[in-house]
Amino acid sequence: MTEQLHTRTNPPWDGLEGTERHAACVLAARDGHPGALDTLVAELTPLVWHIARGAGLDRSAAEDVVQTVWLALLRHVDAITEPRAVVGWLITTTRREAKRTRQRSATQVELSPEVVEHVPSTEPMPEAEALRTERDRTLWSAFHKLDQRCQELLRLTVLAGRAEYRVVAEVLRMPHGSIGPTRGRCLNALRALYDNGDGGR
């Protein structure tokens, strides 16, 4: 009966924005609303991704951290004492998990060449891999030449998949209407750096 009621009425967070919207989602998730956690995941995953990547993790490790953080929220949603602070909880939890992931990676032992030689490879041909690696190196080098604001904005709106501009504006403390134009300028700057080869210098 409760689930049927949820499907017939607007969700508690409908029409809300920012902190109030996130708090309403947390409270609704505790009440078993089927779409509450999905809404948080959809709107705040770019933020979690941004924190993980900003901690120096590669794409694969960052994806693992993002999944772990959302599972942690699912397990501990009833323990969040202040629903309005869920964004802060996510940031703190992501930073801690990213740190643990970096520490685990640092302790991993590399396989010896003799062992690697007998492991079947699933990697692409060396020539294609070399070209991709060089392209990625040049692109990331150009990316890191952008100012910090552009790096943060592009991580949230491009690298992690397009986020809700409302969330990006809240996280970066920027006017909502300036997100799109600023994003365009940052992409143009990145393209110019890459095309001019400045990423390699």
Write the DSSP string, the chain: -HHHHHHHS--TTTT--HHHHHHHHHHHHHTT-TTHHHHHHHHHHHHHHHHHHHTT--HHHHHHHHHHHHHHHHHHGGG-S-GGGHHHHHHHHHHHHHHHHHHHHHHPPPPPHHHHHTSPP-SPPHHHHHHHHHHHHHHHHHHTTS-HHHHHHHIIIIIT-PPPHHHHHHHHT--GGGHHHHHHHHHHHHHHHHHTTGGG-
**CB 142: neighbour CB atoms within 10 A?**
22
Higher pLDDT, 134 or 84: 84
Six-digit token string for 164: 């809700």
Q: Encode pLDDT of 46-56 as tens digits.
A: 889 888 888 88
Q: Rounded CA gap, 135 and 129, in Å?
A: 10
Q: Which of 196, 185, 191, 184 is nearest to 143 (CA)?
A: 191
Q: Is the pLDDT of residue 4 over 80?
A: no
pLDDT of residue 176: 81
Residue 150 half-sphere exposure toward CB, CA atoms < 13 A: 16
pLDDT of residue 113: 53
pLDDT of residue 179: 85
Q: Encode pLDDT of 135-160 as tens digits.
A: 778 888 888 888 888 888 887 776 54
Q: Rounded CA gap, 41 and 163, in Å?
A: 11
Q: Is the pLDDT of residue 110 over 60?
A: no
Encode burial over 20-30: b for 16+ CB neighbours within 10 A, e otherwise.
Answer: ebbbbbbbbbe
